A and B are shown apart, each in its own frame.
Chain A
């Protein structure tokens, strides 16, 4: 189980990386390596060229701007996990971080790597789907932004062109006092979730829900926003019955069978976890902005 032969490139700028990507045949970008390296060791991936992004300047940052939280592609998952800005501005992401792999993988793994690899049961794509993230990529013709709803293109595939490099992702903010909840079911601590659910709720001063996001991960080629569940809740108070009824809309998502679980179980979990995530989010709405983080309750 050793990597196949390849040529190694370690550009210093994104533009260089893009040029390499555009000019080399069968090239692969290497970010944190927590997905690509196993694939190389197992020879599932056999690139002729590996373009290592770890020495590219200026891709590791977490900053707040008018559009929310902007995160550089090579920001390590560890840095997101311990970031006060992430806790404050995207507590949903903060709640999901400790569920990603293990200490050793979060020390290396990056947000851009996770998004580019795009495993549908991974936590970061689910959070990005939930908050309508915007991905910024650079290609030979310059930069462009991709709204997250347009980012997935199939199993383990994104809509980035083959010669584009993911530069950053922006997580638009939810109003202060919003509630969030991330729930997943994994067989063991740190495993990929069989199914995950992310919920975000904003409510008006009258207690009625004004805005809601419900996302299910791990149940198809990409995390799935359940519009029917969201629509069912807007204008309602977050009663247990309303949240449960909304979660029921998650049952009919097209799901896949694999060695870990049949499709029907995934659909069942989607309902259960959506309800739990909504309940957690609503509890936080009721607790008010002073209590943004209850920490994972699983």
Chain B
């Protein structure tokens, strides 16, 4: 048998072209068939070994050999592998299997920011080695796997069409599921961390429970809180239920108390809600507990308890200094509130008004003394009417004695309006 080694003359192949091809020894003896390719988990991965299914009495079932010992040959469009040297290879934690871990699995398309399923993998053969360069997520990859790519393209070419193909470069994908091998999602973090929390939450919601939890726990608490906030209510609850109590408490502490209260109310397991409240720092858990007392359709259930209050004699300069020191979130400083010693609301000042006034001016001189406010037990309907009538960014929430309890910002209400719309449709 004469084999022409063509390693240099074909630059690229699909994984589906290679899986199942026969593997021969140099003396022409048939060793077995190619079952999988092993890559190293690097930024630009390289094929490091072959997994071969063999009936050879020298080995048991499947065996991995280092890629260096192989050459690919082609004869009348039939590929085969020649094993020049049997270099035993141990698959470790820093390796992935192309067929088992990536082919047919869901991955993240980093550019389109969505989950796609891998139909095929394109490999490039260079002088330095073999590299997976792209994944095929289109119809062409699917047809190639079925062995129907040629008849399909022949058929479509009659109508002057071609089989739609969609390749995504390896640098633009993120492999998530590693099945049983618990490889740290460290590379995943780096690319996925550049996503907007809202995009990331969309992806996490679409994942299966195991991968979802693995990915979520690999985020730092701050990011995790941002992502969690963006999720659908059901997904939020499901994630919190799955997390260990300490981790969940850490993440929840980074979220606005009203959001936390909503999640805890929806938990199926009341015991877990109690454990989480115990685990959180005292101030937060007291706030959350109070918020949880409010019935669902009242202003109180929506309010955030993160807001800034000052005494009337404080000067503009002091307030601005405080803001610089505290660096509060944008939605907590749409307005600041002026209260007496007993926390009764006296007035409010918008951030804009604060910025345009002289530093030495006391707040009492520039504040709006009759701010539009809402009672904590009033219905959400009243709230949405107020907000749209006066086009407000935030509304203070008051107890019956005009003590300020919290604020509601427009973001919370937008969410609420959409939620209601969805239910009543």
Partners in one complex: no
